[in-house]
Amino acid sequence: MTIDGFMSILSEYWLTGLAILVLIGTSAFFSGSETALTAASRSRMHTLEANGDPRAGVVARLIDRRDRLIGALLIGNNLVNILASSLATSLLLGIFGDSGVAVATIAMTVLLVIFAEVLPKSWAISTPDRFALTVSAPVNIFVRVAGPLSTAVNWIVRRILALFGVTLSAESSMLTAHEELRGAVDLLHREGSVVKADRDRLGGVLDLDELEVSDIMVHRTSMRMVSADDPPEAVVRTILDSPHTRMPVWRGETDNIIGIVHAKDLLRALADVGNDPGRIDISKIAQKPWFVPDTTNLKDQLNAFLRRKAHFAIVVDEYGELEGLVTLEDILEEIVGDISDEHDIDMQGVRTEADGSVVVDGQVPIRDLNRALDWSLPDEEATTIAGLVIHESQTIPNERQAFTFHGKRFIVMKREKNRITRLRIKPLEEGELGR
């Protein structure tokens, strides 16, 4: 082919070549928009919208329907890519004959990968918020036009997947906000941007909806209570000696809780009777007890505490039997860690030894141990560390009996009746894990 012939063909097909370049640019727009809008910060958009940026509101609405957004952008991207490849094949067939197919395939692959995929996506991911704000208006128009087609495609996909037993809820979001936030916090912690204490606090907030009252309550065996049948002097002395401001009052048997006495109410009553404990009727001072099911999740219980302006509740099982007690402070400690004041008694029950092992009281909660030592012992089947050992060993072990699981060596140091009261835990070295 002569140069004049080549120029003649080129001038004949210049409109086709220009269309191909425009389509490649459009493909780059769709690719960059998809990357930017899926990576954009929803919290940042919320802040910008509150500050009066209308583009941020558009981005936020697009992200809220992310499945519809991505479907529309993919439809647009594939449409222009296929059209560009078809035009290039037609153009190069006229120039190179049958070999034009191979030339078109190679040329379009290189152009699309570099200019329609890698370049726009790299640009978008470097500044996703700014890129998303810039493309929000045209993308919003395109999604409005292609949205019904995207919805139809999603419907077809769901029906096909249903044939294979895979069910996708049409209402469910593609991303779970809690999982996204938890993953971001863990990643920032590994990178050193978030310290462990902050990670634990944020994780505690996210865990409230997954934990039940029974996971954090003070068990009935550890409750400090007073009997309304005891002499008033003994009752007053017990309450004043206690580090707690509220104590349950029982009558007849410990399961029969008749009220909750507050130390301030007791002091007021003592002042009214001239500080004579013998004239105190504890059952009249006590407030009506509030009973809650042990299956209540912590988020609901926290909201109930705030709604009732209460700090203290008695926990019962499905049969109404006493299980323990839970306080507002117990729930807050799940978020911020242990809260201690000058009247609290140190009951952590965890002591680190010189050899790297840890001596732990059996009733120490697994979650508290994980938080304190940055471990990851499972707490789905047991609440306390003693309960975990019993669950894993499927028996009530004897003293000096040892077990190895979850990368730790557990040695029973002390047992009282059927209760494990003290354990020694030692993390295994890498060479010991396979033994």
Q: Mean pLDDT for each consecutive 10-residue tract of the chain (435 residues)? A: 54 79 95 92 86 92 87 92 92 83 91 93 92 95 90 85 75 55 72 75 84 92 93 93 93 94 94 92 94 95 95 94 95 81 56 89 88 86 92 93 93 93 88 54
The pLDDT, as a whole number, for residue 309 is: 93
Nearest CA among 177, 161, 179 for reference residue 169? 161
State the Cα–Cα distance between residues 186 and 224, nearest whole angstrom.
38
DSSP assigned state of 210? T
- For residues 175 and 66, the answer to whether their CB atoms sit within 8 Å is yes
What separation in angstroms does the CA of 337 have from each of 112, 203, 294, 302, 356? Answer: 53, 11, 22, 16, 23
Distance CA 401, CA 390 (A): 12
Q: In whole angstroms, how far apart are CA 165 and each of 152, 154, 155, 247?
A: 20, 16, 15, 54
Q: H or E element: which one contains 90?
A: helix 66-96
Collapsed DSSP state (helix, strand, coil) of residue 411 = strand
Q: Which distant-in-sequence residues (6+ apart) come within 8 Å of 9 by Cβ?
A: 94, 95
- Structure confidence at residue 296 (pLDDT): 95
390-398: Cβ within 8 A, 24+ apart: 390/420, 396/420
Angle at 303 between CA 302 and CA 309, to 5 degrees: 90
pLDDT of residue 171: 47
**Relative orientation angle of helices 177-191 and 196-207, to the nearest 10 degrees:** 170
| Number of Cβ within a 10 Å radius of residue 108 | 21
Amino acid in the structure at residue 45: M
- pLDDT for 367 equals 85
99 three-state secondary structure: helix
Whether the Cβ atoms of residue 338 and residue 398 lie closer than 8 Å to each other: no
According to DSSP, the β-strands at 246-251 and 226-227 are parallel
- Determine how many CB atoms are found less than 10 A away from the CB of residue 398: 9
Q: What is the separation, in whole angstroms, between the first and last Cα of the chain?
A: 75
The pLDDT of residue 346 is: 44
Quickly count: other Cβ atoms within 10 Å of residue 276's Cβ.
12
What sign results for the dihedral spanned by CA atoms 240, 244, 247, 253?
Answer: negative
| Cα–Cα distance measured from residue 377 to residue 385, given in angstroms and rounded to the nearest whole number | 9
The confidence score (pLDDT) of residue 180 equals 67
Residue 192 falls in which region: left (phi positive, over 0), alpha (psi -120 to 50) or beta: left
Provide the 8-state DSSP code for 175: S
**How many C-alpha atoms does 118 have within 13 Å on its Cβ side?**
6
Q: How far apart are CA 87 and CA 19, in angstroms?
A: 8
Do 236 and 280 contact (CB within 8 A), yes or no? Answer: yes
pLDDT at position 340 is 61
Nearest to 227 by CA among 247, 207, 241: 247
Return left, alpha or beta for 361; rule: phi > 0 is left, psi -120 to 50 is alpha, else beta.
beta
